[in-house]
Amino acid sequence: MNRQQAIVVLERALGLSEQIAALADGGDVGQIVRLDLQRRQLLKSARALLHHLDERSRSILREISALNDRTVGLMEHRLRAKGREMDMATVGRRAVAAYASVRMQC
């Protein structure tokens, strides 16, 4: 693989990063994991050739990193939201149980 082929591979990895970031908004974790695996394989294949990065490859890697940071942030936000939903469901179940026990006593 020559340097130009490595740039093409990095651009494909960037395209996958864009798809992953878009999916993170919707929370399709299974698809995100599959695409991330493909992206990692592409990055590994380009890494062997790109020990000395030129400006183009550095720019692509910065974009991939920024998209990855955005994706991680979106997924952490979704995780916290799910945690809050679970907490509220637990509170609701406790309230129903408490109401049911009081109602049974009447």
pLDDT digits (tens, 9 = 90+) for 43-73: 999 887 777 778 999 999 999 999 999 999 9
Name 80's Cβ contacts closer than 8 Å, sequence gap at least 6.
Answer: none
pLDDT digits (tens, 9 = 90+) for 73-94: 988 988 888 889 898 988 888 8
User: What is the predicted pLDDT for the residue at 10?
Assistant: 94
Which of the 8 DSSP states describes residue 45? Answer: H
Q: Is 15 exposed, middle or buried (0-12, 13-18, 19+ CB in 10 A)?
A: middle
Cα–Cα distance measured from residue 17 to residue 9, given in angstroms and rounded to the nearest whole number: 12
